[in-house]
């Protein structure tokens, strides 16, 4: 038996912390300030062997007017009526307050089982407040610390009494027998169940937009009840609230989110948490409904949110809310559509639904548009059709030449859907201009009827062995490289790399040769030189020593030292002597 537990109490006693503890994950936003939670949030959890369904509620306020606090109180009372057991949370460090006593009377009037939880009871600081909770008259309080997980065993023991059903215990043997038979029957059908699991998953739809655009009102109109808190105040919703719904036998999960403001205006830590929760909802959604105020359509923040959705790869549907306030709707709708296609070309053709959630006008047009765009988002295109389209697209508009050489697309295939992702194989893929890639994306969207769906196209080139090295398939059994059948022209990068290697080898050889020549010149014996008529001549039988690095052979007029020797009184070579200075 699954117990439905409503966690109730006055503000800032730790209800959302206890909700996260029992759910086993951080679902609700938690902050030190009171009044953070406003809407009812549902979740599932487990305590020991007990499966529980949790309801987190807003802090109780003793008001009955038309204010926001009164509407929050109505949501809390609705949760009490829906639950099996109410967990009444108090602050053990503060003790029982007057508001706690008023709320205890409200719980008695609803005639639901109540378990009093004295939260924040770690250590001995909460002993006095725990003992003070006896005067509420709702039974023995359970000291517990939701932050540190202390006291959950006592809570399990208290809930165990409500989970045990005498009628179920009488039929335990019969239930066990039926369970064994069902398990054997399902053993042979496991593959079919796994195949149907994808169809049973709910369609995840996130509803986003600027503050006070009408998101919560739209959700209430779709499901037909006042499930979410609404009002004229901006920024009422703080958490991303999931709402399970079904339409025509199809499971749907609507996620109402907090309004997104410009990043420069988000200063408080609580608003930063709400913004992060909204972005997380967009990430895990399949279809995103962007609600735009029709009186101020497509401001900068709306365009930025749409661009974020496209970058996340989610299907997008635009909703013009508050359409009942617009005069001349037909001309205004055509103008807005033209503005949308001009400012957001990356989602050209996305569905645009003009409606009024307050009056229900045109609301029935929204879900068919959502189902259509989700179908387009999950589309797969056959490879043969894709390559036939590629040939026509290239013939209509060939790729431009870059540096005097053309880029030749060769082959195209779809690698995955959700969103549709394609891979194009072409020569010199890294030099394909961005404008030609955008041309391919727009042509894909128009040819295969994919409006409002983000399309990804990545371009790759074949392997170049001169740049990337030999491929593993080209290696022989001993690790060698198989010879190619014929010569192949190297690219510019390969030629420059080979020239650099050749220059390095030549430089190394020249250095070795110079060192060897210098070593041989150093080991040779010096020649004997005699002076004859003013000139130095080597002695008979001796050879002139050569310079290091000089070419071998006899050099006329130059001794072994490499410098010419002139006789006395002779003029320099090439310069006639001046008269009077002989």
Residue bearing the bigger pLDDT, 218 or 266 = 218
Residue bearing the bigger pLDDT, 143 or 198 = 143
> Whole-angstrom Cα distance, residue 99 to residue 101?
5
CB–CB of 64/70 below 8 Å?
yes
Mean pLDDT of the chain: 80
Which tens digit of pLDDT belongs to each residue from 109-139? 988 899 999 999 988 888 888 999 998 999 9
Per-residue pLDDT at 497 exceeds 50: yes
Q: Is 178 exposed, middle or buried (0-12, 13-18, 19+ CB in 10 A)?
A: exposed
Concatenating the DSSP letter of every residue in 379-441 gives ----HHHHHHHHHHHHHHSPPPEETTEE--EEEEEEEETTTTEEEEEETTGGG--HHHHHHHH
Residue bearing the bigger pLDDT, 518 or 288 = 288
Per-residue pLDDT at 189 exceeds 80: no
In the chain, where are the structural domains located?
3-167, 198-377, 383-460
| Dihedral in degrees, nearest 10, Cα atoms 149, 150, 154, 158 | -40
Per-residue pLDDT at 351 exceeds 80: yes
CB–CB of 15/41 below 8 Å?
no
CB–CB of 17/147 below 8 Å?
yes
Phi, psi of 46, rounded to the nearest 5 degrees: -150, 130
What's residue 170's pLDDT?
Answer: 43
CB–CB of 181/175 below 8 Å?
no
Question: Where is average pLDDT lowest: 156-160, 232-236, 436-440, 551-555?
Answer: 551-555
Minimal CA–CA distance to 240: which of 209, 207, 277, 269? Answer: 277
Rama region for 538: left / alpha / beta (φ>0; ψ in -120 to 50; rest): beta
How sure is the predictor about 523, in pLDDT bands with cuts at 50, 70 and 90? low
What does CATH list as the number for 198-377?
Answer: 3.40.50.300
Per-residue pLDDT at 480 exceeds 50: no
Per-residue pLDDT at 174 exceeds 60: no
Pick the CATH number of 383-460 from 2.60.120.620, 3.40.1260.10, 3.30.300.20, 3.30.565.10: 3.30.300.20
Give helix then strand counts, H and E, for the chain: 17, 19
Per-residue pLDDT at 465 exceeds 60: yes
Place of tokens 């870059």: 402
How sure is the predictor about 10, in pLDDT bands with cuts at 50, 70 and 90? very high
Residue bearing the bigger pLDDT, 520 or 8 = 8
Which tens digit of pLDDT belongs to each residue from 270-327? 888 889 999 999 999 999 999 999 999 999 999 999 999 999 999 999 999 999 999 8
Residue 531 makes CB contacts below 8 A (sequence gap 6+) with 537
> Whole-angstrom Cα distance, residue 516 to residue 547?
13
Per-residue pLDDT at 7 exceeds 80: yes
> Whole-angstrom Cα distance, residue 127 to residue 131?
6
Per CATH, 3-167 and 198-377 having the same topology is answered: yes
Peptide bond into 419 cis (omega under 30): yes
Q: Beta-carbon neighbour count of residue 303 at 10 Å?
A: 13
Pairing of strands 409-416, 421-426: antiparallel
How sure is the predictor about 492, in pLDDT bands with cuts at 50, 70 and 90? low
> Whole-angstrom Cα distance, residue 259 to residue 238?
8
> Whole-angstrom Cα distance, residue 284 to residue 252?
14
Pairing of strands 3-8, 50-56: parallel
Angle at 141 between CA 136 and CA 142, to 5 degrees: 160
- The whole-number average pLDDT for the span 43-59 is 91
> Whole-angstrom Cα distance, residue 219 to residue 236?
14
What's residue 493's pLDDT?
Answer: 55
Range with top average pLDDT, 100-114, 265-279, 461-475 = 100-114
Rama region for 387: left / alpha / beta (φ>0; ψ in -120 to 50; rest): alpha
Minimal CA–CA distance to 13: which of 155, 104, 112, 147? Answer: 147
Query: Among positive and negative, which fits the CA dihedral 183, 187, 192, 198?
Result: positive
- Provide the percentage of residues in the chain whose pLDDT is more than 90: 48
Place of tokens 């796994």: 194
How sure is the predictor about 401, in pLDDT bands with cuts at 50, 70 and 90? confident
Question: Where is average pLDDT lowest: 192-201, 360-369, 425-434?
Answer: 192-201
Give CA 287 to chain center in angstroms.
15
What's residue 140's pLDDT?
Answer: 92
Which tens digit of pLDDT belongs to each residue from 370-399? 999 999 999 999 999 999 999 999 999 999
Minimal CA–CA distance to 492: which of 425, 401, 399, 403? Answer: 403
> Whole-angstrom Cα distance, residue 464 to residue 261?
49
- The whole-number average pLDDT for the span 453-473 is 74
What's residue 267's pLDDT?
Answer: 72
| Residue 344 half-sphere exposure toward CB, CA atoms < 13 A | 31
What does CATH list as the number for 3-167?
Answer: 3.40.50.300
């Amino acid at each position: 038996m699954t117990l439905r537990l409503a966690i109730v109490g006055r503000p800032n006693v730790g209800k959302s912390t206890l909700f996260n503890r029992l759910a086993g994950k951080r679902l609700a936003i938690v902050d030190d300030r009171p009044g953070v939670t406003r809407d009812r949030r549902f979740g599932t959890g487990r305590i020991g062997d007990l499966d529980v369904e949790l309801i987190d509620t807003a802090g109780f306020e003793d008001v009955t007017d038309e204010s926001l606090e009164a509407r929050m109180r109505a949501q809390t009372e609705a949760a009490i009526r829906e639950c099996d057991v109410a967990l009444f949370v108090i602050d053990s460090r503060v003790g029982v307050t007057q508001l706690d006593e008023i709320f205890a009377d409200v719980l008695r009037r609803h005639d639901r089982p109540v378990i009093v939880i004295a939260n924040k009871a770690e250590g001995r600081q909460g002993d006095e407040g725990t003992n003070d909770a006896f005067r509420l008259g709702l039974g023995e309080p359970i000291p517990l610390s939701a932050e540190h997980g202390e006291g959950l065993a006592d809570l399990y023991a208290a809930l165990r009494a409500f989970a045990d059903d005498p009628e179920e215990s009488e039929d335990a043997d019969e239930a066990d027998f039926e369970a064994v038979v069902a398990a054997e029957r399902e053993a042979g059908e496991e593959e079919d169940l796994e195949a149907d699991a994808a169809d049973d998953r709910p369609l995840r739809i996130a509803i986003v937009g600027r503050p006070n655009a009408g998101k919560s009102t739209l959700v209430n109109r779709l499901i037909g009840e006042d499930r979410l808190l609404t009002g004229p105040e901006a920024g009422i919703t703080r958490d991303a609230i999931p709402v399970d719904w079904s339409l025509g036998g199809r499971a749907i999960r609507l996620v109402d989110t907090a309004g997104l403001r410009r990043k420069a205006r988000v200063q408080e830590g609580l608003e930063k948490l709400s913004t992060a929760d909204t972005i997380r909802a967009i990430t895990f959604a399949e279809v995103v409904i962007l609600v735009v105020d029709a009186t101020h359509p497509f401001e900068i923040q709306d365009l930025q949110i749409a661009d974020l959705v496209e970058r996340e790869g989610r299907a997008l549907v635009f909703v013009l809310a508050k359409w009942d306030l617009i005069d001349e709707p037909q001309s205004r709708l055509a103008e807005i559509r033209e503005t949308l296609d001009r400012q957001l070309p990356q989602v050209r053709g996305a569905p645009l639904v003009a409606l009024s959630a307050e009056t229900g006008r045109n609301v029935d047009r929204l879900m068919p548009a959502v189902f259509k765009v989700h179908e387009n988002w999950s589309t797969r295109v056959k490879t043969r059709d894709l390559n036939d389209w590629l040939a026509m697209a290239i013939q209509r508009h060939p790729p431009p030449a870059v540096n005097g050489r053309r880029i030749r697309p060769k082959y195209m295939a779809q690698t995955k859907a959700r969103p549709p992702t394609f891979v194009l194989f072409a020569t010199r893929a890294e030099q394909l201009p961005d404008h030609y890639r955008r041309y391919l994306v727009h042509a894909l969207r128009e040819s295969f009827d994919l409006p409002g769906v983000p399309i990804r196209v990545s371009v790759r080139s074949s392997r170049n062995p001169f740049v990337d090295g030999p491929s593993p398939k080209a290696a022989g059994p001993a690790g060698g490289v198989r010879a190619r059948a014929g010569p192949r022209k190297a690219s510019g990068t390969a030629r420059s790399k080979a020239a650099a290697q050749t220059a390095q080898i030549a430089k190394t050889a020249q250095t070795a040769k110079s060192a060897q020549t210098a070593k041989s010149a150093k080991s040779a014996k010096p020649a004997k030189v005699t002076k004859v008529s003013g000139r130095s001549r080597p002695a008979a039988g001796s050879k002139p020593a050569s310079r290091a690095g000089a070419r071998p052979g006899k050099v006329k007029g130059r001794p072994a030292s490499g410098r010419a020797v002139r006789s006395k009184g002779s003029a320099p070579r090439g310069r006639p002597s001046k008269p009077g200075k002989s």
